[in-house]
Amino acid sequence: MTDWADQLTPILGAKTADALAKSLNLHTVGELLRHYPRRYAERGELTEIAGLEIGEHATVLAEVQRVTKRSMRSRRGSILEVRITDGRRALNCTFFNQAWRERELLPGKKGLFAGKITAYRGQLQLANPEYQLIEPATQDAGDGDSVVAEFTAALIPVYPAAQGLPSWSIARCVRQVLDTWDGVEDPLPAGLRADLRVSDLTQALRDVHLPADRAAVHFARKRLKWDEALSVQLALAQRRQAADARPAPACPPRPDGVLDSFDARIPFELTEGQRSIGEIVRADVSREHPMNRLVQGEVGSGKTVVALRAMLQVVDAGRQTAMLAPTEVLAAQHARSLAELLGDLATAGEFGAPDHATRVTLLTGSMGAAQRRKAMLEVVSGEAGIVVGTHALIQDRVEFADLGLVVVDEQHRFGVEQRDALRSRAGSRVSPHVLVMTATPIPRTVAMTVYGDLEVSALRELPKGRSPIKSTVVPVAEKPAWLDRVWQRLREEVAAGHQAYVVCPRIGDQASSGEDVDTPPPAEGEGSERRPPLAVADVAPELAEGPLRGLRVGMLHGRLPADEKDTVMRAFAAGEIDVLVATTVVEVGVNVPNATAMVIMDADRFGVSQLHQLRGRVGRGSAAGLCLLVTDAVPGTTTMQRLDAVASTTDGFELARLDLELRREGDILGAAQSGRRSGLRLLSLLDDEDVIAQARDRAEAIVVGDPALTEHPGLAGMVADLVDEDRAEYLQKT
Ligand code: ADP
Ligand code: MG
């Protein structure tokens, strides 16, 4: 008689339950049953060793090939080396001072071996793995030997495991729980289940852990994926509906206002996309309910103008607007370029300003006290029509006189919950309009989930006269001499009157490594022997005194004081710096058309879409852009394939897909991009487009008829669980 919410301790005993709690954060029956196998090893079929990644905690089904015992020369003790194989490639397992294992690890024996994959002298290795031998099926599996009995099924579940808690221990716990489990009440109404042709939840959960065959796995996973897709889409449909129902400040366009004056003086012709999205946004902002729109457009597609025109319409209606950037450098840059675009239309309060002029006010955390007070005053008084800052602007409870529109720029790191906070921010019952802009093209499934609370518009074309960017991988491990050629190329660019960026993953020059990166690169394959990533603080002086001697080399990163960052950016924009050595603070929005080349050091330490964003900083003018991806990654590895892909295409959609595949889905409702999954265990944003799209339609239909899900208590429960789980994760992270 075991229930979903029961604690594991009485069932499994304190020792095992504690291990599950500590290593995998599993406390209840429900949590354990939701810990699904990652895959299934097929009895008699060995795991492919070539597919293993360094750093991965893996469980492999392999055969013992050879065992050698050595004694350690330096100390008393022995090393037992056990070579295991999948029939093609081998993996070395080493055991220290466990010579007795020689007696059971006999050549020809098969077993599961679990541990962290490392590399040692070019060989894949498992140090001190845990293992469990599997007796051949013909041998009598009974004999009261439970260890053997565990592996009598045709499919052996392989669980995400932890040190000291190998897959087979988890399997044993699950089996023990299932033995006394009565099942759960199914949250999906029977009618819906029949419609979707999915099995009931109790059956699905039993089958996912103890499948009779592959078909059982398939149907179980199908059902469980539906639950995930449906709860996410229900949560999002509810949010959309709630957001839509809130009142918002209607800002109908005003003839002869600042927007009209601006339109009359834009120095270029709007692209077709800028014009049509402009129309949509104009209508959105005029409504009495909040706009919640995402504009996605490639780097350089001109999103800023779209946002600015929306902001001016709101200013014309007598309200304020805020533009949020991910970093202070970017915020400062935005404030500057908005003021430049506006010219004297941004000089309200100054002598000779046009009638309906407004003010662009920068407000950031690191401003001096006096400056900040002045900025605050402009915001509170309503004098500032356009306030530019980082997300702190919203979190810090800055009081706006009358906030009508919030523009979030380049925000692929901003989850649904943060957007919720933002909508409820205007102080009163009224929600501001929200316009989110991103340059990372978003696969459809991601748009439906991560951005599912927003309507999406895409800016497809680039303004005329843009130059192509040519990207090349520089494999220094293989061809060290190419690095000299890199610096020579930079000198040529500078000699031709252009400027260049050199981007490094780390800031450097600081004992603490915790805050040493402006944007942490994805942690993957953290091999033990990797050197630390290259740092701006080291590379800049080395270049200035070495290969780039005589050039004006500047340095920019997130730890510089705000005014210094600003000075450096200004100097670079003014052409007073030839080569800017920087962290990813230049990733988004920085716009210096004369910069034509970018060298990315340790390019393998960056994510795919990050690289794509970064190189978008060059080729913004009429001269062709050049991006050199310097890496010591080994040819043929996935890491190198990733870089080759970035070099081979500038199709952002293709890259976004690739990135998603490599990064796996982050959490959906909370702060995104953690790379950990929550809510979504089986559902893949990459492969399950059908399910997601269908779930979205279903959810929409259900929520329209029953907004609070009062008539669907099962579904309401699913949504509550999802939101709780996501929020718990989110809170843990902050
Ligand atoms: P992103 O979409 O990457 O944010 P920006 O808005 O920064 O792009 O625009 C990049 C550059 O292109 C800016 O210098 C901007 O003034 C310019 N630009 C924007 N729209 C057009 C257009 N229709 N024609 C020519 N240049 C444009
Ligand atoms: Mg931009």
The pTM score is 0.68
Kindly give the distance from the C-alpha atom of residue 620 to the centroid of ligand 1, in angstroms, as a whole number: 9
DSSP track, 709-728? -TT-HHHHHHHHHHHHHHHH
CATH superfamily of 469-649: P-loop containing nucleotide triphosphate hydrolases (3.40.50.300)
- What letter represents residue 239's amino acid? R
**Tokens read off for 564:** 């210094």
Ligand 1 test: best mutation among 334, 336, 591, most atoms within 8 Å of CB? 591
The CATH classification number of 258-286+302-438 equals 3.40.50.300
The CA–CA distances, whole Å, from 288 to 247, 350, 433, 456 equal 6, 33, 10, 20
Taking the C-alpha atoms of residue 370 and residue 373, their distance in angstroms, rounded to an integer, is 5
- Residue whose Cα lies nearest atom 26 of ligand 1: it is 463
**pLDDT at residue 240 in the model:** 85
Taking the C-alpha atoms of residue 685 and residue 642, their distance in angstroms, rounded to an integer, is 19
Give me the phi and psi of 69, to 5 degrees please: -115, 135
**pLDDT at residue 541 in the model:** 96
Ligand nearest to the CA of 460: 1
> Tokens 């679990």 map to which residue?
114
Q: Tens digit of pLDDT for each residue in 622-639?
A: 778 899 999 988 776 777
> Tokens 């062709």 map to which residue?
624
> Tokens 């004999």 map to which residue?
143
Taking the C-alpha atoms of residue 50 and residue 66, their distance in angstroms, rounded to an integer, is 19
β-sheet with 625-631: strand ranges across: 469-475, 625-631, 595-600, 499-503, 579-582, 553-556
458 within ligand 1 shell (Cβ under 6 A): no
Q: What percentage of the chain's residues is helix, strand, coil (to nearest 5)?
A: 40, 20, 40
> DSSP class of residue 558?
T
613 within ligand 1 shell (Cβ under 6 A): no
The CA–CA distances, whole Å, from 673 to 272, 522, 654, 664, 678 equal 32, 9, 19, 9, 11
3-state secondary structure of 385: coil
**pLDDT at residue 229 in the model:** 92
pLDDT at 163 over 80: no
Q: Are 201 and 187 in contact (CB under 8 A)?
A: yes
**pLDDT at residue 146 in the model:** 43
Sequence-ordered strand ranges (E) for 249-385: 292-297, 320-325, 360-362
Q: Tens digit of pLDDT for each residue in 282-340?
A: 999 999 999 999 998 877 788 999 999 999 999 999 999 999 988 888 888 889 889 99
Instruction: Report strand pairing: 455-459 vs 595-600.
Output: unpaired
**pLDDT at residue 543 in the model:** 96
Most confident of 122-126, 164-168, 300-304, 382-386: 382-386
Short-list 451, 456, 448, CA closest to 689: 448
Rg of the chain's alpha carbons, rounded to an integer?
29
* Residues 490-510, mean pLDDT to the nearest whole number: 92
270 within ligand 1 shell (Cβ under 6 A): yes
**pLDDT at residue 710 in the model:** 94
pLDDT at 420 over 80: no
320 within ligand 1 shell (Cβ under 6 A): no
* Residue 253 vs residue 528, higher pLDDT: 253
Burial 479-497 (b: 16+ CB within 10 A, else e): eeeebeebbebbbebbeee
Ligand nearest to the CA of 298: 1
Taking the C-alpha atoms of residue 36 and residue 221, their distance in angstroms, rounded to an integer, is 10
Kindly give the distance from the C-alpha atom of residue 525 to the centroid of ligand 1, in angstroms, as a whole number: 38
Return the ligand 1 atom nearest residue 459 CA: 2
Q: Tens digit of pLDDT for each residue in 431-448?
A: 899 999 987 767 777 777
Q: Which residues pair with 458 in a beta bridge?
A: 296
Sequence-distant (≥ 6) Cβ neighbours of residue 447 within 8 angstroms: 294, 296, 456
**pLDDT at residue 660 in the model:** 67
**Tokens read off for 257:** 């206002």
**pLDDT at residue 453 in the model:** 79
Instruction: Report strand pairing: 553-556 vs 579-582.
Output: parallel
pLDDT at 679 over 70: no
3-state secondary structure of 271: coil
* Residue 163 vs residue 490, higher pLDDT: 490
Ligand 1 test: best mutation among 263, 268, 588, most atoms within 8 Å of CB? 268
Kindly give the distance from the C-alpha atom of residue 667 to the centroid of ligand 1, in angstroms, as a whole number: 32
Per cent of the chain over pLDDT 70 is: 86
* Residues 71-78, mean pLDDT to the nearest whole number: 77
* Residues 569-585, mean pLDDT to the nearest whole number: 93
Kindly give the distance from the C-alpha atom of residue 303 to the centroid of ligand 1, in angstroms, as a whole number: 7
3-state secondary structure of 272: helix
Return the ligand 1 atom nearest residue 297 CA: 2
* Residues 28-35, mean pLDDT to the nearest whole number: 93
Short-list 548, 550, 556, CA closest to 573: 556
- What letter represents residue 386's amino acid? I
**pLDDT at residue 411 in the model:** 62
Q: Around Cβ 542, how many Cβ atoms within 10 Å?
A: 13
Angle, helices 652-663/608-615, rounded to nearest 10 degrees: 150
Which residue intervals of the chain bear CATH 3.40.50.300? 258-286+302-438, 469-649
* Residues 473-485, mean pLDDT to the nearest whole number: 90
Alpha-helical (H) ranges within 404-452 are 416-423, 444-449
Q: Around Cβ 375, how many Cβ atoms within 10 Å?
A: 20
Q: Tens digit of pLDDT for each residue in 445-475?
A: 777 777 777 888 888 777 776 777 899 999 9
Ligand nearest to the CA of 303: 1
Sequence-distant (≥ 6) Cβ neighbours of residue 243 within 8 angstroms: 290, 292, 423, 431, 453
* Residues 593-615, mean pLDDT to the nearest whole number: 90
Kindly give the distance from the C-alpha atom of residue 258 to the centroid of ligand 1, in angstroms, as a whole number: 20
Which residue intervals of the chain bear CATH 2.40.50.140? 9-181
Ligand nearest to the CA of 278: 1
pLDDT at 597 over 50: yes
CATH topology of domain 9-181: OB fold (Dihydrolipoamide Acetyltransferase, E2P) (2.40.50)
Return the ligand 1 atom nearest residue 593 CA: 14
Ligand 1 test: best mutation among 304, 407, 409, 590, most atoms within 8 Å of CB? 304
Angle 133-135-137 from CA coordinates, rounded to 5°: 145
Kindly give the distance from the C-alpha atom of residue 329 to the centroid of ligand 2, in angstroms, as a whole number: 13
Q: Tens digit of pLDDT for each residue in 91-135?
A: 999 998 888 899 999 999 988 898 888 887 777 888 888 898 887
